[in-house]
Amino acid sequence: MWLTEKFGLAVPVVGAPMAGVSGGRLTAAVSAAGGLGMLGAGSAVSAEWIRTEGAIAAASGKPYGIGLMAWSVADHPEHLEAVLELRPALVSLSFGDYGRYVGTLQDAGIVVATQAGTVADAREAVDAGVDVIVARGAEAGGHGRNAVATLPLLQAILDLTDVPVLAGGGISGPRGLAAVLAAGAVGGWIGTAFLTCEEALTKEPVRQAIIAAGETDTVYGTVFDAASRAGWPDEFGGRSLRNPFFESWEGHEEELKEKDSAHEHWVEGVKAADPARMAIYAGQGVGALSGRPTAAEVLGSFAAYRGYLRAALSDGSK
Residues 196 and 208 in one domain: no
Report pTM: 0.96
What's residue 60's pLDDT? 82
pLDDT-based confidence at residue 312 (cuts at 50, 70, 90):
confident
Residues 255 and 232 in one domain: yes
CA nearest neighbour of 105 among 135, 136, 73: 73
Instruction: Give me Rg for the CA atoms of the chain.
Output: 18
Residues 39 and 56 in one domain: yes
pLDDT above 70 covers a percentage of the chain that reads 99
Is it the case that residue 186 has pLDDT exceeding 60? yes
- pLDDT average, residue stretch 185-194: 98
pLDDT-based confidence at residue 318 (cuts at 50, 70, 90):
very low
Does residue 280 form part of some domain?
no
Is it the case that residue 316 has pLDDT exceeding 80? no
Is it the case that residue 178 has pLDDT exceeding 50? yes
Give per-residue pLDDT as tens, 130-170.
999 999 999 999 999 999 999 999 999 999 999 999 999 99
- pLDDT average, residue stretch 59-64: 94
Does residue 276 form part of some domain?
no
Give per-residue pLDDT as tens, 15-27.
999 999 999 999 9
Does residue 315 form part of some domain?
no
Does residue 65 form part of some domain?
yes
Domain count, the chain: 2
* Burial category of 267 from C-beta neighbours within 10 Å (exposed 0-12, middle 13-18, buried 19 and up): middle
Residues 21 and 74 in one domain: yes
Residues 142 and 191 in one domain: yes
- pLDDT average, residue stretch 184-207: 98
Does residue 296 form part of some domain?
yes
Residues 116 and 225 in one domain: no
Residues 90 and 211 in one domain: no
In terms of phi and psi (left: phi > 0; alpha: psi -120 to 50; beta: otherwise), the region of 88 is: beta
How far is residue 298's CA from residue 69's CA, in Å, rounded to a whole number?
26
pLDDT above 90 covers a percentage of the chain that reads 97
- pLDDT average, residue stretch 259-285: 97
Give per-residue pLDDT as tens, 225-266.
999 999 999 999 999 999 999 999 999 999 999 999 999 999
Does residue 316 form part of some domain?
no
Is it the case that residue 9 has pLDDT exceeding 90? yes
Residues 158 and 251 in one domain: no
Please check whether residue 79 is in contact with residue 88, taking contact to mean a CB–CB distance below 8 angstroms. Answer: no
What's residue 313's pLDDT? 83
Q: What's the domain range around 212?
A: 204-271
Does residue 156 form part of some domain?
yes
pLDDT-based confidence at residue 315 (cuts at 50, 70, 90):
low
How far is residue 181's CA from residue 170's CA, in Å, rounded to a whole number?
14
Residues 117 and 259 in one domain: no
pLDDT-based confidence at residue 294 (cuts at 50, 70, 90):
very high
Residues 6+ apart with CB under 8 A from 34: 9, 10, 11, 299, 303
- pLDDT average, residue stretch 105-109: 98
Residues 60 and 127 in one domain: yes
How far is residue 77's CA from residue 83's CA, in Å, rounded to a whole number?
10
How far is residue 178's CA from residue 310's CA, in Å, rounded to a whole number?
9
Is it the case that residue 221 has pLDDT exceeding 50? yes
The DSSP secondary-structure symbol of 181 reads H
Does residue 113 form part of some domain?
yes
Residues 37 and 18 in one domain: yes
Domain containing residue 134: CATH number: 3.20.20.70
Residues 302 and 220 in one domain: no
How far is residue 135's CA from residue 103's CA, in Å, rounded to a whole number?
21
Mean of per-residue pLDDT scores for the chain = 97
